[in-house]
Amino acid sequence: MSELRRVVVTGLGAVSPLGHTARSTWAELKAGVSGIGPITLAADREALSQKVAAEVKDFDPLKHFEERRLSTLDRVSQFAMVAAREAIAQSGIVFDMPRSLRTATIVGTGTGGQTTVDESYRRVYLENKQRVFPLTIPKLMVNAPASQVSMDCGLRGPAFVVASACASATHAIGLAFQMVRGGVADYAVTGGSEACITFGVVRCWEAMRVMAPDTARPFSKDRKGLILGEGAAMLVLETLESAQARGATILAEIVGFGMSADAGDITAPDQGGMARAIEGALADAKLAPQDIQYINAHGTGTAANDETETQALHQVFGGHARKLAVSSTKSMIGHALGAAGALEMVATVMAVREGVAPPTVNFLGPDPACDLDYVPNEARKMPIEAALSNSFAFGGLNAVLAVRKFA
């Protein structure tokens, strides 16, 4: 086996409930701003019991795309492309030949082109129209975000979508990291995208009975569940050697990736599965538990996840668990399902880069079952040498990335 290469992040992009760039999103996360508000995107929203979500606000596709292209671009692809363009621009890389051939495009999404699905089904079932728009299939297909990013940015290496529900983006970034580390690709544009605030999707989440009626309060007493979110985030990954040769600004180094499956319940979280993914990421990174200062938690705000994730952290970190700063940015950007892990990687990379742990907002006070330091309500300046980003999906699919400060 050839020698493993070091992999660094040189570009970040995001479209989130807090802004249409990674820079604005991170600034708002640090300030503890909540992006949760009334649902405006869903058709028939008056008929929904759930009234709030974390929507991307004031997103005008025509600011980013020619009108004729929109017939093939669902909102989920639009978000992915805008985030990818920002990340690539920040990296300064021009993906011309032959570099384009060595660049992977790996994108996570949980639900794909739901806006298109919803609109098409309303047309045929509700409005009794005889036909749907001709390009409905390429617009809604679940791989569209990866295809559109690859087309838009001219990336000709390995490209596909990864679907593992709430862990999709973390699995995607982890695979891209492994590809660059192992020499399958030299560069990767990777992350996740989700645009799931439709009547149909919200109604299905209502049926699960796991959403909070007001806001997300991860790890807090009196938390009442998750809040759906949407958006995208993308990262540019390359080898350390390439970044240094270009004189690029290195934002952070990705050092480890751990995965596991619970092989248990389809929805209930599992402490053992979570712990194995965390341990896997640490081992892959050759980091000891004491080397970690910050954890961007999965932290959905459900009773079950937050308690189980806390127990998993105790299991892996032992006495060091109480020294960790653990926060859930879902308290501000909601749970963007297949994009969540990418938005959270933006937060984790910036936390390591700037030495600031973003807060868990809406925190009312400790729950006896959640007894760690969750950085309640206010960001904290602190030295962060290494951090983890956790994602634990429905279906028992777990993924954890380890990030180290590059100095």
Partner 1 sequence: MTDVANDVIAIIAKKVRVDHPKIEMSDRLQDLGLESLDAVEMIFDLEEKFDIQIPYNANNPRTEFDTVGDVVSAIEKLVASRPS
Q: Single out the catalytic residue among 166, 171, 196, 370.
A: 166
CB of 24 to partner 1, least distance (A): 31
Q: How far is CA 325 from CA 56, 73, 104, 246, 378, in A?
A: 28, 39, 33, 34, 12
Task: Tokens for 327, please give them.
Answer: 């926060």
The separation between CA 199 and the C-alpha centre of its own chain, rounded to angstroms, equals 22
| Of 245 and 268, CB closest to partner 1 | 268
How many residues lie near partner 1 (CB under 8 A)? Answer: 17
Instruction: Looking at residues 86 to 125 of the shown chain, list those that interact with partner 1 (rule: CB under 8 A).
Output: none
Does 43 engage in binding with partner 1 (CB under 8 A)? no
Strand ranges in 99-225 using DSSP code E only, listed in sequence order: 103-108, 159-162, 187-194
Exactly one of 184, 304, 315, 385 binds partner 1 (CB under 8 A); which one?
304
The single residue among 54, 180, 188, 210 that binds partner 1, judged by CB under 8 A, is 210
Is residue 203 a contact residue for partner 1 (CB under 8 A)? Answer: no
Among 266, 365, 368, 407, binds partner 1 (CB under 8 A): 266
What's the CA angle centered on 238, arms 236 and 243, to 5 degrees?
105
**Tokens 């009334």, residue located:** 38
48 near partner 1, judged by CB under 8 A: no
Residue of 268, 283, 364, 369 interacting with partner 1 (CB under 8 A): 268
Contact 297, 326 (CB under 8 A): yes
Supply 176's token pair. 């891209």
Which residues within the stretch 273-302 sit at the binding site for partner 1 (CB under 8 A)? 302
Told to check if 303 binds partner 1 by CB under 8 A, we report: yes
Q: Which of 132-140, 259-267, 382-390, 395-403 is the region at the interface with partner 1 (rule: CB under 8 A)?
A: 259-267
Quote the CA–CA distance of 161 and 144 in Å, as a whole number.
8
Q: Of 53, 159, 212, 216, which one interacts with partner 1 (CB under 8 A)?
A: 212
To the query of whether residue 314 is one of the catalytic residues in this protein, the response is no
List Cβ neighbours of 1 (8 Å cut-off, separation of 6 or more).
Answer: none
State in angstroms the smallest separation of the CB of 316 from partner 1.
25
135, 208, 288, 369: residue in contact with partner 1 (rule CB under 8 A): 208
Binding part of the chain for partner 1, among 34-42, 99-107, 187-195, 220-228 by CB under 8 A, reads: 220-228
Q: What is the CA radius of gyration of the chain?
A: 20
User: Helix (H, G, I), strand (E, B), or coil: what is residue 69?
Assistant: helix
Least Cα distance to 147 among 80, 235, 100, 93 occurs for: 80
Stretch that binds partner 1, among 164-172, 204-212, 324-332, 395-403 (CB under 8 A): 204-212
Binding of partner 1 at residue 225 (CB under 8 A)?
A: yes
Nearer to partner 1, 319 or 365 (CB): 365
* Identity of the residue, 212 or 324, whose beta carbon is nearer to partner 1 in the bound complex: 212
Q: Is residue 166 annotated as a catalytic residue, yes or no?
A: yes
**What's the Cα-to-Cα distance from 350 to each of 12, 15, 164, 222, 345, rounded to whole Å?**
9, 16, 25, 30, 8
Cβ 130 to partner 1, closest distance in Å? Answer: 32
> Can residue 353 be called a binding residue for partner 1 (CB under 8 A)?
no
CB-nearer residue toward partner 1: 136 or 215: 215
Query: What are the CB-based long-range contacts (under 8 Å, 24+) for 378-381?
Result: 378/32, 379/29, 379/30, 379/31, 379/32, 380/325, 380/356, 381/355, 381/356
The closest alpha carbon to 201, from 18, 82, 76, belongs to 76
What count of other Cβ atoms lies within 10 Å of the Cβ of residue 130? 6
**Comparison of 1 and 266: residue with beta carbon closer to partner 1:** 266
Residue 98: which residues within 8 A CB-CB, separation 6 or more?
A: none
Per CB under 8 A, the list member of 1, 62, 94, 207 interacting with partner 1 is: 207
Clarify whether 20 is annotated catalytic.
Answer: no
Binding of residue 267 to partner 1 (CB under 8 A): yes
Give Dmax over CA atoms of the chain in angstroms.
Answer: 64
Q: How far is the CB of 51 from partner 1 (least distance, A)?
A: 14
Q: Please, what is the minimum distance in Å from the beta carbon of residue 232 to partner 1?
A: 27
Touching partner 1, residues 130-189 (CB under 8 A): none
For binding to partner 1 (CB under 8 A), which residues are involved? 207-213, 223-225, 265-268, 302-304
Q: Which residues participate in catalysis according to the annotation?
A: 166, 298, 335
